[in-house]
Structure 1
Amino acid sequence: MNYIIKHISTRDTYLIRHPVLRSGKPIESCVFDGDDLNTTFHLGIYTENRLVGVCSFFKNKNQLLPEAFQYQLRGMAILNEYQNIGLGKLILNYGENLLKEQNIQTIWCNARENAESFYKKMDYKIIGESFNIKNIGLHYVMHKTLKYKNPDIQGF
């Protein structure tokens, strides 16, 4: 199968966020603070013109991390029938490369307990203690240091 990754609208993320991350909850639960900021971007992965996965990147600093230029990964989701075939790795690598081109130092996320092993395989490390997000479950703050493409330029 061929896959295409491209920038998508906030609204398009709901098509995947809702069934994967917010199943049984109102569609409004898929709206994240900062979704429409000009520093936020959303990616979608398509196969045969069908959107099957999404992830969003927010300019957001986590106080547990010292680096000045940080982005938060949020709302990463692949439709169930397309999971475990490498699409999460493809879309996350694509987003990380976009951040590297902008010389972002660190990417971090609030990883669900059942996604911890995926992020570890992608070289993310846990920082701090686990915590619970009401009505969603146990999470870990995980982060990864990105290597600058151009060390003379820093951040967006």
Structure 2
Amino acid sequence: MNKISIKKINYLDTFPVRSAVLRQGKPIETCSFLGDDAVDTTHFGLYIENNIIGIASVFKTNNKNFDIKNQFQLRGMAILEEYQSAGFGKLLLEEIFNIIESNQVELLWFNARETAVSFYEKLGCIKKGASFEIPEIGTHFLMYKYFNM
């Protein structure tokens, strides 16, 4: 049986998966997010054996749509295409939820691609407001999940 693990990684380690899944056909520079190297940003890698197959990043960023002080943003959640729809995204996100809850975070928010909304809803996340466009990326929805409330 293949060994599956989730561990904290350097932001540069997210680039191959970000590029393959979230920034297909775009320059590698588009894989860099503002705040990637901030001390309160954490990047996670999902591995099978020693191969990274999924990533997600959590940033200390407040969204003005929420009146909560202790909130973080999920960004760059991605599972390599050949591993999608096999439960790996759920595994990664549930681990992040556990870490967030144990760190007394009250809210995790994110901009979900339209195609991923039902995935997040199945994990207890809620859609807020109407859809919006992120240029060159596509239709998104603001989504969130409360913790420790």
Question: How many residues are treated as equivalent by the alignment?
Answer: 148
Q: Which secondary structure does the structure 2 equivalent of 1:140 belong to?
A: strand
Q: RMSD of the alignment, in Å?
A: 0.9
Name the CA distance, whole Å, in 2 between partners of 1:89 and 1:69. 24
Deviation, structure 1 residue 102: 1.2
Q: Matched residues in 2 for 1:87 and 1:139: separation?
A: 22
In the aligned structure 2, how far is the partner of 1:135 from the partner of 1:65?
26
Asked if residue 112 in structure 1 is aligned to residue 113 in structure 2, the reply is yes
In the alignment, is residue 48 of structure 1 matched against residue 41 of structure 2?
no
Give 5+ residue unaligned stretches, structure 1.
149-156
SS at match of 1:109: strand
Range that drifts further, 17-26 or 61-70: 61-70
Letter in 2 for 1:144: K
Q: State whether structure 2 residue 16 is matched by structure 1 residue 15.
A: yes
User: Which residue of 2 is the match for residue 66 of structure 1?
Assistant: 67
Cα offset for 1:88?
A: 0.6
User: Please, which moves more after superposition, 7-16 or 92-101?
Assistant: 92-101
TM-score calculated relative to the size of structure 1: 0.92
Find the residue that maps to 2:92 and give its secondary structure.
helix
Residue identity (%): 45
1:137 equivalent in structure 2: 138
TM-score (norm 2): 0.97
List per-residue Cα deviations over 1:34-85 (Å, max 9, x = no partner): 0000000000000021000000000011111121100000000000000111
Could you tell me how far apart the structure 2 residues matched to 1:97 and 1:67 are?
19
- Structure-1 separation of matches of 2:24 and 2:95: 26
Q: What's the CA shift for 1:2?
A: 2.7
For residue 147 of structure 1, report the CA deviation from its aligned partner: 2.8
Paired residue type of 1:11: L
Secondary structure of the structure 2 residue equivalent to 1:7: strand
Q: Deviations over 1:112-146 (max 9, x none)?
A: 00000111011111112210000000000000001
Structure 2's unaligned 5+ residue stretches are none
CA contact (8 A) 1:16 1:77 kept: yes
Q: Distance between the aligned counterparts of 2:30 and 2:3, measured in 1?
A: 31
